[in-house]
Amino acid sequence: MLTIDLYSRIPIYQQVIDGIKEQVLLGILREGEQIPSIRELSVEISTNPNTVSKSYSELERTGVLHAAVGKGYFVAIGASERIRKDMVFEERKTLIGAAENLKRIGITEEELQTWLREVYQNEATKEKNET
Amino acid sequence: MLTIDLYSRIPIYQQVIDGIKEQVLLGILREGEQIPSIRELSVEISTNPNTVSKSYSELERTGVLHAAVGKGYFVAIGASERIRKDMVFEERKTLIGAAENLKRIGITEEELQTWLREVYQNEATKEKNET
Amino acid sequence: MLTIDLYSRIPIYQQVIDGIKEQVLLGILREGEQIPSIRELSVEISTNPNTVSKSYSELERTGVLHAAVGKGYFVAIGASERIRKDMVFEERKTLIGAAENLKRIGITEEELQTWLREVYQNEATKEKNET
Amino acid sequence: MLTIDLYSRIPIYQQVIDGIKEQVLLGILREGEQIPSIRELSVEISTNPNTVSKSYSELERTGVLHAAVGKGYFVAIGASERIRKDMVFEERKTLIGAAENLKRIGITEEELQTWLREVYQNEATKEKNET
DNA sequence: GTGGTCTAGACCACT
DNA sequence: GTGGTCTAGACCACG
């Protein structure tokens, strides 16, 4: 089940993309499996079908979904691994960028490592973070 | 001297804000010092005065600049420390967010710490990173 | 319906801000409710959309409104209480400031209290006062 | 001696006006007495002579000062009483306005009177208040 | 349709 | 000269 934050500055269509990827990554959606139709999902999250359509198109373009005309959308084979790689690439870039900035400001390596240690000691790390 | 990327997805006014903060942080602009007038800067970076005005207003609102009508804009007293604090807060949030996502994907704490070590071994860390 | 005085020394965008706050405070606009779009309001009060946009942005920044791109502006949850608190803070400052000045000039506490009593005896207290 | 707050949003020429009136009211400047020349004062408060000139002109227009060509500016006869009356009128308006707003928001008369009592119990009430 | 950004130009008050 | 406000018009991303 996708949860959409209508108050977020992140566009709804982007939240849908992130949500689908998340579910594939967590195995909630399996490769080859059919996902809700545009119409169904748009009702579920009370949004415009055009918005969901935009998300699905983008996901098809990036190889996460596969569109079968007249049948619906399916999770592409190999989607999980592809998503994982992209995500590592992106998040790594974000992490290193932040670390560089913090270094420039004068934060020591020790402080950073302490913060990271806390992240790994927390068991529940469920949600995504926005700026 | 501010460098603006007209083709960036980051709004020009935001780039100006970031640039000014950067210069204050690096001591290029000193506290109490007068900065280029709206008209001057708008010519320098080839934008509309209104755009620069928006940046300067926002910077005044956040306590980085001080506006003196008829005289110009000045770097506020205490601006540097204020910027530094805000930046640590923001970048820390970004770093921890990325770390949490990477943890969820299955990246180990050791891998992350290796990446960070590299950041701190590089001496030149010059550029700013945006999301 | 907002009434704007084009000849006032109070900027139009500020009058819009005050008017919206007023309507939220009076319950004319309810929390969560959608307000007129920038274009609609700008037509209604015969001003430029940019001016209304400035007002709405400021109101979003202060937590009174919530912007949903593509959908419109909505009254933020908790806006009413937030406005009330801010207003008490501001008006109290003004009141005490005026009282201090009057005291210095030689007005007695009794005189002031008489004036206040009159305010509270009048039932109709309808209009807003600006500096 | 006039104290000017360069960081205030109140125009310098207005601060000069307020300061002169203040000094007349407090008897620091006596009626008939000569006040500093435009040039002297502008040096004293490190500002543009035009600014001081604007203040003096305005003060002459409102009957606080009297200009003697070639000799300088003098405090007008009756200035003190006139200032006092104007000030009472203005501050009373401000006070009552704030009180009306506070009443509308739901502040009780008792609360207001408590605040006023505090003002009158404080012995030192020296400074002017800005919004 | 919505809001967000930007340009080009204007007028005003202040120094 | 400075900043502050406003208008008229444009283009973009989003729903």
Q: What is the pLDDT of residues D13-71, one digit of tens each?
A: 999 999 999 999 999 999 999 999 999 999 999 999 999 999 999 999 999 999 998 89
Q: Do B102 and A95 touch (CB under 8 A)?
A: yes
DSSP assignment, residue D34? B
CA of A98, C1' of F13: distance in angstroms: 27
pLDDT of residue A122: 81
Structure-token match 């929390």, residue found: C31
pLDDT of residue D43: 93
Residue D25 φ then ψ, to 5°: -60, -40
| Cβ proximity of A31 and A70 under 8 Å | no
CA of A79, C1' of F8: distance in angstroms: 49
Tell which residue, A31, A37, A80, has the closest CA to residue A55.
Answer: A37
Q: CA A24 to CA A77: how far, in whole Å? A: 11
| Cβ proximity of C75 and C35 under 8 Å | yes
Kindly report which listed range (B2-16, D1-15, D77-91, D113-127) carries the lowest average pLDDT score: D113-127
> For testing the chain D interface, which of B65, B71, B75, B77 should be mutated: the one with the most D CBs within 10 Å?
B71
Residue nearest to nucleotide F5 (CA to C1'): C11
Nearest CA in chain A to B81: A105
Strand-strand pairing, D72-75 and A72-75: unpaired
Higher local confidence (pLDDT), A130 or A6? A6
Tell which residue, B47, B59, B70, has the closest CA to residue B19.
Answer: B59
Question: C66 — contact with chain A (CB < 8 Å)?
Answer: yes
- The type of residue at D93 is K
Nearest CA in chain D to C118: D96
CA of B73, C1' of E14: distance in angstroms: 14
| Mean per-residue pLDDT, A9-38 | 95
Q: Quick check: A61 pLDDT over 80? A: yes
- Count, residues in chain B: 131
Question: Which pairs count as long-range contacts for A20-27, CB under 8 Å and 24+ apart, including other chains?
Answer: A20/A55, A20/A59, A20/A64, A20/A65, A21/A59, A21/A64, A21/A83, A21/A87, A22/A128, A24/A64, A24/A75, A24/A79, A24/A80, A24/A83, A25/A80, A25/A83, A25/A84, A25/A87, A25/B105, A27/A80
CA of B15, C1' of E1: distance in angstroms: 30
pLDDT of residue D124: 59
| Cβ proximity of C29 and C23 under 8 Å | yes
Structure-token match 């003002």, residue found: D119
pLDDT of residue C124: 58
Q: CA B59 to CA B79: how far, in whole Å? A: 10
The percentage of chain D sitting over the pLDDT mark of 90, rounded to a whole number, equals 85
pLDDT of residue B130: 46
Q: Quick check: C130 pLDDT over 50? A: no
pLDDT of residue A75: 97
Residue nearest to nucleotide E8 (CA to C1'): B48
Which bases of chain F are contacted by protein, using any atom under 7 A from a CB? 1-10, 13-15
Q: Do C98 and D98 touch (CB under 8 A)?
A: yes
pLDDT band at B97 (very low <50, low <70, confident <90, very high): very high
**C chain contacts of residue A54, beta-carbon cutoff 8 Å:** none
Higher local confidence (pLDDT), D2 or C54? C54
Q: Strand, helix or coil at A101?
A: helix
DSSP assignment, residue D29? S
- The type of residue at A116 is L
State the helix-helix crossing angle for A109-121 and B109-121, rounded to 10 degrees. 170
Residue nearest to nucleotide F1 (CA to C1'): B70
Half-sphere exposure of D13 (CA within 13 A, CB side): 15
Which bases of chain E are contacted by protein, using any atom under 7 A from a CB? 1-10, 13-15
Residue nearest to nucleotide E12 (CA to C1'): C9
Higher local confidence (pLDDT), D55 or C124? D55
From the DSSP assignment, how many helices (H) and strands (E) are in chain D?
Answer: 5, 2
| Beta strands, E only, chain A | 65-68, 72-75
Structure-token match 């006006």, residue found: D17
pLDDT band at A124 (very low <50, low <70, confident <90, very high): low
Nearest CB neighbour to D120, from listed C105, C109, C119: C109
pLDDT band at C34 (very low <50, low <70, confident <90, very high): very high
Question: A77 — contact with chain B (CB < 8 Å)?
Answer: no
Tell which residue, C79, C100, C90, has the closest CA to residue D97.
Answer: C90
| Mean per-residue pLDDT, A29-42 | 95
> For testing the chain D interface, which of C95, C126, C127 should be mutated: the one with the most D CBs within 10 Å?
C95
Q: CA A58 to CA A68: how far, in whole Å? A: 15
Q: Do D11 and B69 touch (CB under 8 A)?
A: yes
Physical contact, A and D (3 or more Cβ pairs within 8 A): no
Q: CA A111 to CA B14: how far, in whole Å? A: 29
Q: CA D41 to CA B33: how far, in whole Å? A: 25
Q: Look over chain A and give the mean of its residue pLDDT values, rounded to a whole number.
A: 91
- Give chain B residues 30-89 with Cβ within 7 A of strand F: 37-40, 50, 53, 56-57, 60, 67-73
Q: CA B54 to CA B43: how far, in whole Å? A: 15
Nearest CB neighbour to C99, from listed D87, D93, D95: D95
Q: What angle do CA D36, D38, D44 make, to 5 degrees?
A: 70
The percentage of chain B sitting over the pLDDT mark of 90, rounded to a whole number, equals 89
pLDDT of residue B124: 59
Q: Quick check: C19 pLDDT over 60? A: yes
Give the CA radius of gyration of chain C.
18
Q: CA A110 to CA A100: how far, in whole Å? A: 14
CA of C37, C1' of E10: distance in angstroms: 26
| Burial track B65-74 (b if 16+ CB lie within 10 A, e otherwise) | bbbeeeebbb
Helix (H) or strand (E) holding C23: helix C12-25
Q: In the B/D pair of chains, how many CB contacts fall below 8 A?
A: 4
For the record, the structure tokens of D107 come out as: 């502040």
The percentage of chain C sitting over the pLDDT mark of 90, rounded to a whole number, equals 89
| Cβ proximity of C63 and C79 under 8 Å | yes
Whether pTM > 0.95 for this model: the answer is no
Q: How far is CA D29 from CA C107, D26, D33, D52, D63, in A?
A: 21, 8, 7, 17, 15
| Mean per-residue pLDDT, A102-120 | 93
DSSP assignment, residue D67? E
pLDDT of residue C1: 79
Half-sphere exposure of D40 (CA within 13 A, CB side): 9
For the record, the structure tokens of C93 come out as: 């400052």
Q: Look over chain B and give the mean of its residue pLDDT values, rounded to a whole number.
A: 92
Structure-token match 């800067």, residue found: B41
| Mean per-residue pLDDT, B69-73 | 95
pLDDT of residue C115: 93
pLDDT of residue B112: 93
Question: B69 — contact with chain D (CB < 8 Å)?
Answer: yes
Residue nearest to nucleotide F12 (CA to C1'): B9
CA of B34, C1' of E13: distance in angstroms: 21
Q: CA B20 to CA A80: how far, in whole Å? A: 42
Q: Look over chain C and give the mean of its residue pLDDT values, rounded to a whole number.
A: 92
Nucleotide nearest to D50 (CA to C1'): E15
